[in-house]
């Protein structure tokens, strides 16, 4: 889908209705001013196509009727000479039939596309954890919101061994089906490569080589992987070019988990480093994709990392689920519910 159509897709329904009516009246006004018997009626299809694709069958039929009435009035007011008085009415009926047929075809095609997208979304949701593993003293909570039907964002939480939990987050460059397919490839590779003997750095190196070999040039992946040893709360992590997760300590200090290496798929020979730290009671760790911080409001102001940190600080006494809900709700309301990029959150709370 072109950037223009993507923009129209995300606008409110009232905007699409007003745009369609404006186009209809604009074409009718030009048609009246020209006042010639030329094939200008094809431009009345603009609002019909707009309504059929974005608003559905019946709105498209209504705008088809309105467009044909506007076309007829423009013809009659321009007073062109016809061979018979019934000609403009006959032309209007023929054009109405054509407009309705086009409306039915386009709306049916859109329903088919939406059905396929819905199936793709259901498949993708199965890749994500349906429930978080039970971990003594640790809570996990997640939020996932595609900007389109499917997403290039990915997160996972899973048991690596009896005492070890692995969790990760990733973001594929781009949007839509192509990004979602790459994401599914990454998800499968993480599950295949991960065991209790591999370090987080080695895992990222394997993923990087795989992504470099299988992903087309220009498609990169930011990725963060961490392993938590439950008895000691020792956290090992590697950050492959992903926005640095925010660790808010119990004493209010803030640490960014940024060390690791380049994003996946950029250079097959990239090496990565693992970093270790120990989590303490009441620490909060927030993993997020750039759709959270780069979301802009109508004043073109970005949500930003500092606003996210401040929000975490204000709500750090909440559990993982409560903190995740507060962040997700605030971010989504920042631009009145219009999501410009995929949004994903993973909150880890140490009890």
Q: In what order do the strands lie in the sheet with 284-288?
A: 138-145, 343-350, 284-288, 246-248, 254-256
Place of tokens 């905007």: 15
Q: Which tens digit of pLDDT belongs to each residue from 264-304?
A: 998 889 999 999 999 999 999 999 999 899 988 888 899 99
pTM of this prediction?
A: 0.74
Q: Which tens digit of pLDDT belongs to each residue from 195-235?
A: 888 999 999 999 999 999 888 777 789 999 999 999 999 99
Confidence (pLDDT) at 170: 93
Low-confidence residues of the chain, pLDDT below 50?
36-39
What is the residue extent of each domain of the chain? 3-122, 128-350
Confidence (pLDDT) at 5: 62
Q: Is 342 exposed, middle or buried (0-12, 13-18, 19+ CB in 10 A)?
A: buried
Return the number of other C-beta atoms located less than 10 Å from residue 33's C-beta.
10
d(CA 185, CA 179): 10
Confidence (pLDDT) at 2: 54
- SS3 category, 50: helix
Strand partners, 239: 224, 260
d(CA 166, CA 195): 9
In the CATH scheme, what architecture does the domain 128-350 have?
A: 4-Layer Sandwich (3.60)
Tell me if 344 sits within 8 A of 294, measured CB to CB: no
Q: Which tens digit of pLDDT belongs to each residue from 193-204?
A: 998 889 999 999
């Amino acid at each position: 889908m072109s950037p223009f159509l993507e923009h129209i897709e995300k606008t409110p329904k009232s905007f699409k209705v007003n745009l369609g009516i404006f186009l209809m009246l604009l074409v009718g006004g030009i048609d009246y001013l020209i006042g010639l018997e030329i094939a200008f009626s094809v431009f009345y299809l603009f609002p019909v196509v707009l309504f059929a694709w974005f608003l559905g069958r019946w709105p498209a039929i209504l705008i088809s009727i309105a467009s044909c009435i506007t076309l007829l009035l423009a013809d009659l007011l321009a007073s062109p000479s016809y061979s018979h008085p019934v000609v403009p009415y006959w032309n209007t009926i023929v054009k109405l039939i054509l407009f309705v047929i086009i409306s039915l075809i386009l709306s049916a095609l859109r329903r088919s596309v939406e059905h396929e997208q819905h199936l793709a979304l259901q498949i993708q949701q199965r890749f994500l954890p349906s429930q978080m593993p039970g971990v003594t003293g640790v809570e996990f909570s997640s939020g996932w919101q595609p900007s389109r039907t499917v997403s290039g964002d990915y997160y996972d939480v899973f048991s690596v061994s009896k005492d070890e939990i692995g969790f990760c987050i990733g973001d594929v460059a781009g949007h839509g089906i192509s990004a979602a397919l790459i994401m599914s490839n990454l998800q499968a590779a993480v599950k295949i490569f991960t065991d209790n003997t591999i370090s987080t750095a080695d895992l990222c190196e394997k993923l990087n080589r795989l992504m470099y070999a299988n992903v087309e040039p220009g498609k990169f992946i930011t990725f963060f992987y961490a392993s938590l040893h439950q008895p000691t709360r020792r956290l090992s992590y590697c950050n492959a070019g992903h926005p640095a997760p925010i660790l808010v300590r119990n004493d209010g200090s803030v640490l960014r988990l940024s060390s690791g290496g380049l994003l996946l798929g950029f250079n097959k020979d990239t090496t990565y480093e693992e970093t270790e730290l120990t989590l303490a009671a009441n620490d909060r760790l927030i993993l997020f994709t750039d759709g959270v911080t780069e979301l802009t409001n109508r004043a073109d102001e970005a949500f930003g990392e500092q606003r996210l940190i401040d929000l975490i600080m204000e709500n750090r006494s909440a559990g993982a689920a409560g903190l995740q809900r507060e962040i997700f709700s605030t971010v989504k309301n920042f631009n009145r519910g219009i999501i410009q990029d995929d949004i994903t959150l993973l909150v880890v709370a140490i009890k």
